[in-house]
Amino acid sequence: MRQPAQILHDVFGFGAFRGVQEDVIGRVMAGKHSLAVMPTGAGKSLCYQVPALAREGTALVISPLIALMHDQIRSAESFGIHAASLTSADGDEARQETLRRFKAGELDLLYVAPERASSGHFRELVGRAKLSLVAVDEAHCVSEWGHDFRPDYRLLRPLLDSLGDVPRLALTATADRQTRADILVQLGIPEDGLIVAGFDRPNIRYHVRPRDGVSSQLKALLAEQEGAGIVYVSSRDKAEKLAEQLAQGGRRRVLPYHAGLDPQVRARNQAAFVASEDMVMVATIAFGMGIDKPDVRFVAHAGIPKSIEAYYQETGRAGRDGDPAEAWMFWGAEDFLRARRRIETEVPDERRGGERHRLNSLAALVEAAECRRAILLHHFGEDPPARCGNCDNCLTPPTTVDATEAARKLLSA
Ligand code: ADP
Ligand code: MG
């Protein structure tokens, strides 16, 4: 059997593990269960791909989205890894062929959705196979505290328990303390199996501004900012309209991206963005997962994101090459009012508490006069320095002190 370091070099062509990858892979190699919390772009896939090749058997990968699985499979295959998925989108023939390869032990990686993985039928199938590990990707989906709860993740436990010694590796980019604790319990991972990577993205400069004619604010930003960027909006309609407004009179290409576009147009816009050095994509959150473009120079939010986790993940798409990058958020009080109304009227009882909590945390970030990075990192359980020197509040301290002073005078008058 090849060693992880050799696989890293021979299969992936990388010189060294990054950050906590080596620790995580070491635990899987030792047959231990783990939860790896690593920011977007930190290289979570490699943490299960390498042991999948180093250990005997097939690695089962639970993943919540078919599009995500297909991206991962394409990427794995580009490294010569034998990977396939069993999903409703794969067609009968492809599924039969995947089953055949799986049973014959020809697959390094088998991707399945949680609904399928939790079925008794699937448990029987894998009970007869040799598995190298089980990876649970986007593991925050198992927790009601997480920002993307998927009840199907809750049903995975019998499968995991039926596999005995097969090491479990849960992976997520977005889990606060409460969510992590819940993932450990739900997936039967011991507390000492938690590995948390540093969340700081020091090359990203954070700016948060009240909205004031957002299309002109963004036009000014686009005129100043070099490089490719993403502007996140909250609806398909806004993506179309804003893309059109920003394209007018500007010097660069601006295209929309959302789930309502024709799949061919969507694929074309995405490919144009990945290839471009200065294009701007005006997108809903449908754009992002699995897009491998290291040189995105800025991410702007025209309106609030769903949560701090979402903000961190979306802004984290900027500057993955390590060069300076910017994150901008233009928010309005009405964003919070609308979000609050939605939580009170549309969110089921059992999730309302979690959503209120997340919205309040986001409001605290937006309204803060302190270092934005310190608030972000603290949210993810780190104990950062009080000032980063690379966010709006550190660079241009707001004048709230004066305001409080003024208010005090008014009150005491
Ligand atoms: P995540 O799932 O954590 O967001 P990915 O697994 O998609 O991140 O990896 C992000 C990028 O980093 C990919 O292009 C991957 O090939 C690259 N990468 C991962 N590990 C390493 C490494 N040790 N050295 C160099 N590049 C790496
Ligand atoms: Mg990933």
pLDDT in tens, 387-396: 999 999 999 9
- Flag whether pLDDT at 228 surpasses 50: yes
Mean pLDDT of 164-193: 93
pLDDT band at 413 (very low <50, low <70, confident <90, very high): very low
pLDDT band at 19 (very low <50, low <70, confident <90, very high): confident
Of 134, 141, 194, 191, the residue nearest 164 (C-alpha): 134
Lowest mean pLDDT among 171-185, 248-262, 286-300: 286-300
Mean pLDDT of 342-350: 93
Of 138, 135, 136, 142, the residue nearest 179 (C-alpha): 142
Mean pLDDT of 31-57: 94
- Flag whether pLDDT at 407 surpasses 60: no
**What is the distance in A from the centroid of ligand 1 to the CA of 14?**
10
Closest atom of ligand 1 relative to the 18 alpha carbon = 23
pLDDT band at 405 (very low <50, low <70, confident <90, very high): low
- Flag whether pLDDT at 50 surpasses 70: yes
CB atoms under 10 Å from CB of 411, counted, come to 7
Q: Which ligand is nearest to the CA of 69?
A: 2
Distance CA 100, CA 77 (A): 18
The more confidently predicted of residues 291 and 74 is 74
**What is the distance in A from the centroid of ligand 1 to the CA of 342?**
36
Enumerate residues 6+ apart whose C-beta is below 8 A from 70: 85
Q: Across 63-146, where does the E strand assignment appear?
A: 83-86, 109-112, 131-136
Q: What is the pLDDT of residue 18?
A: 85
Q: What is the pLDDT of residue 155?
A: 93
**What is the distance in A from the centroid of ligand 1 to the CA of 235?**
30
Average pLDDT, the chain: 92
Distance CA 259, CA 171 (A): 26
Mean pLDDT of 8-36: 92
Closest atom of ligand 1 relative to the 290 alpha carbon = 7
Instruction: Determine if ligand 1 sits within 6 Å of the CB of residue 40.
Output: yes
> For ligand 1, atom 18, which residue shows the shortest CA distance?
43
Distance CA 257, CA 117 (A): 31
- Flag whether pLDDT at 288 surpasses 90: no
**What is the distance in A from the centroid of ligand 1 to the CA of 186?**
27
Exposure on the CB side of residue 28, measured as CA atoms within 13 A: 33
pLDDT band at 88 (very low <50, low <70, confident <90, very high): confident
Instruction: Determine if ligand 1 sits within 6 Å of the CB of residue 13.
Output: no
